[in-house]
């Protein structure tokens, strides 16, 4: 199994631009999670899906952030417009039966 796949691995963009992060969960996993990691705030859960349905988006910082999961094998996290304070490493993780989560390698986002 290839594990959780995220793209791009690095993204550098300018303030105000739209950013789209992509995630392919492990085949057969029914839960998907988006996290953000920064030095200041540590690891934060942004949103998670169960069977493609958003269950808890209380961690999404503001309306500039949105996430979708159109099918069981793909999810996106979009930031529009992006701001320098959005600079972080964004992780996607998936799990089966709600037990341990398996993390992707992350996308390092830099907003200038």
Partner 1 sequence: AQSVAQPEDQVNVAEGNPLTVKCTYSVSGNPYLFWYVQYPNRGLQFLLKYITGDNLVKGSYGFEAEFNKSQTSFHLKKPSALVSDSALYFCAVRASNRDDKIIFGKGTRLHILP
From the list 50, 52, 87, 110, which residue makes contact with partner 1 (rule: CB under 8 A)? 50
Q: Which residues contact 27 (CB under 8 A, 6 or more apart)?
A: 1, 73
Q: Segment contacting partner 1 (CB under 8 A): 15-23, 40-48, 60-68, 76-84? A: 40-48
At 19 the three-state DSSP class reads strand
Report how far Cα 25 is from the mean position of its chain's Cα atoms: 11
Residue 5 touches partner 1, criterion: CB under 8 A: no
DSSP state for residue 25 in the 8-state scheme: P
- The residues of the shown chain that bind partner 1, judged by CB under 8 A, are 4, 31, 42-43, 45, 48, 50, 55-56, 91, 93, 95, 98-106
């Amino acid at each position: 199994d290839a594990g959780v796949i995220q793209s791009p691995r690095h993204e550098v963009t300018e303030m105000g631009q739209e950013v789209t992060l992509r995630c392919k969960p492990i085949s057969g996993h029914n839960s998907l999670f988006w996290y953000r990691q920064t030095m200041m705030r540590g690891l934060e859960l942004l949103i998670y899906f169960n069977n493609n349905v958003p269950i808890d988006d209380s961690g999404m910082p503001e309306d500039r952030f949105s996430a979708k999961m159109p099918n069981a094998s793909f999810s996106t996290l979009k930031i529009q417009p992006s701001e320098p304070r959005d600079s972080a490493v964004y992780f996607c993780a998936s799990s089966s039966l709600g037990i341990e989560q398996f993390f992707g390698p992350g996308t390092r986002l830099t907003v200038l």
